[in-house]
């Protein structure tokens, strides 16, 4: 008889997401004085609007709402959580971690809780960590969240970055199960490309604003990032299929990081997947960094597109560079 404390798989038992109330359209950006147009943004990125966190609305607040919906969907009480992992690059505070703040807001204490910072790949990294905890028998129920308030560190005069990002959060509850769940995860990083997508302000590096770093602002070399992202995602998608001895035709859904519609379309072409089998939310959400994959997944599940037993490939690429993929049966 198999022993439940050492299960084979981490299975998604429930999903949830949350978007702040305020919607900022491309036309709204133009009205704010950004030198751009709806046509310029849409043709290059596929983004039409994004959500903006309200004043005083924190990353942990977004995470809480997404978590409550995921717990409800999973039929799991907060007290049953063994571990909370939050993927975020915009924590409430330097410390303590947003995961511990979320834990307190959920009304529980005692279980492990920590953040993972892998920029836009934060949720994929966090999901990988949670999978290992469950496979090792160290946890039976894990809350995994991707949550961001990235608009707090945008330069609204920089049209190359401010049009891209939005705020939001997504969450999943993973449970130990003998039924198939996460099949494999594949993570990578390359710290040598740091200056192509980064925020130059920090703690050890210093907070001071001078002529060399324009404050707490995202800086990106868009064309370079695009080229690296397409190549890296191609390779990590192949890696997942090869590791599981699967042909690309076996995939039911691609749930990609929602950064740019052109990157998503390039990955879909590589997989010979029609766009009808690719979950796309970038047009309405913008790039919510680590929130994007779980937001897209929750929408796909709640809309009835993703069905039990289907094969899903999740992938993301972000600052670091850090990138990865997760192959799972829903």
**CATH code, domain with 221:** 3.40.47.10
Q: 187 and 174 in one domain?
A: no
Residue where one domain finishes, among candidates 178, 201, 231? 178
Query: How many domains does the structure of the chain reveal?
Result: 2
Catalytic residue, candidates 117, 257, 260, 285: 257
pTM of the model: 0.95
Q: 164 and 220 in one domain?
A: no
Q: 238 and 212 in one domain?
A: yes
Give domain status of residue 3, yes or no: no
Instruction: Give the structural domain span for 317.
Output: 183-329
Based on the residue annotation, tell me whether 213 is a catalytic residue of this protein: no
Residue where one domain finishes, among candidates 121, 146, 178? 178
| Six token digits for residue 237 | 């998608």
Helix, strand, coil distribution of the chain in percent, nearest 5? 40, 25, 35
Q: 190 and 217 in one domain?
A: yes
| Inter-CA distances, 210 with 151, 202, 206, Å | 21, 13, 11
Q: Which residues contact 285 (CB under 8 A, 6 or more apart)?
A: 19, 50, 51, 166, 168, 258, 292, 295
Q: 265 and 158 in one domain?
A: no
Q: 290 and 319 in one domain?
A: yes
Catalytic residue, candidates 117, 213, 260, 287: 287
Residue where one domain finishes, among candidates 118, 152, 178? 178
Based on the residue annotation, tell me whether 287 is a catalytic residue of this protein: yes
Based on the residue annotation, tell me whether 212 is a catalytic residue of this protein: no
Distance between CA atoms of 4 and 259, rounded to whole angstroms? 39
Q: 48 and 171 in one domain?
A: yes
Q: 152 and 65 in one domain?
A: yes
Residues of the chain falling short of pLDDT 70: 1-7, 208-216
| Cis status of the peptide bond prior to 45, with omega within 30 of 0 | no
Q: 218 and 124 in one domain?
A: no
Give domain status of residue 121, yes or no: yes
Catalytic residue, candidates 120, 199, 260, 285: 120
């Amino acid at each position: 008889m198999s022993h439940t404390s050492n299960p084979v798989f981490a299975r998604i038992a429930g999903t949830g997401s949350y978007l702040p109330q305020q919607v900022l359209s491309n036309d709204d950006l133009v009205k704010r004085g950004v030198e751009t147009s709806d046509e310029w943004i849409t043709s290059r990125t596929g983004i039409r609007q994004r959500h903006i966190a309200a004043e005083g609305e924190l990353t942990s607040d977004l995470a809480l709402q997404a978590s409550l919906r995921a717990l409800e969907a999973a039929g799991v009480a907060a007290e049953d959580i063994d571990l909370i992992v939050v993927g975020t690059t915009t924590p409430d505070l330097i410390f303590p971690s947003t995961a511990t703040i979320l834990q307190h807001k959920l009304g529980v204490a005692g279980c492990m809780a920590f953040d993972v910072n892998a920029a836009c790949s934060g949720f994929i990294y966090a999901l990988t960590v949670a999978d290992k905890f469950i496979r090792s028998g160290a946890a039976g129920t894990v809350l995994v969240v991707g949550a961001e308030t990235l608009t707090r560190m945008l330069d609204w005069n920089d049209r190359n970055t401010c049009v891209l990002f939005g705020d939001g959060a997504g969450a999943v509850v993973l449970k130990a199960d003998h039924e198939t769940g996460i099949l494999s995860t594949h993570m990578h990083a390359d710290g040598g490309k740091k200056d192509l997508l980064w925020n130059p302000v920090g703690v050890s590096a210093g907070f001071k604003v001078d002529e060399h770093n324009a404050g707490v602002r995202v800086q990106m070399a868009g064309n370079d990032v695009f080229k690296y992202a397409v190549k890296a995602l191609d390779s990590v998608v192949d890696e997942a299929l090869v590791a599981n001895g699967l042909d690309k035709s076996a995939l039911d859904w691609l749930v990609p990081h929602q950064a740019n519609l052109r990157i998503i379309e390039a990955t879909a072409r590589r997989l010979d997947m029609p766009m009808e089998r690719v979950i796309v939310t970038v047009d309405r959400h913008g790039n919510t960094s680590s929130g994007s994959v779980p937001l897209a997944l929750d929408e796909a599940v709640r809309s009835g597109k993703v069905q039990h037993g289907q094969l899903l490939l999740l992938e993301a690429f972000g600052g670091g560079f850090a990138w990865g993929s997760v192959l799972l049966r829903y």
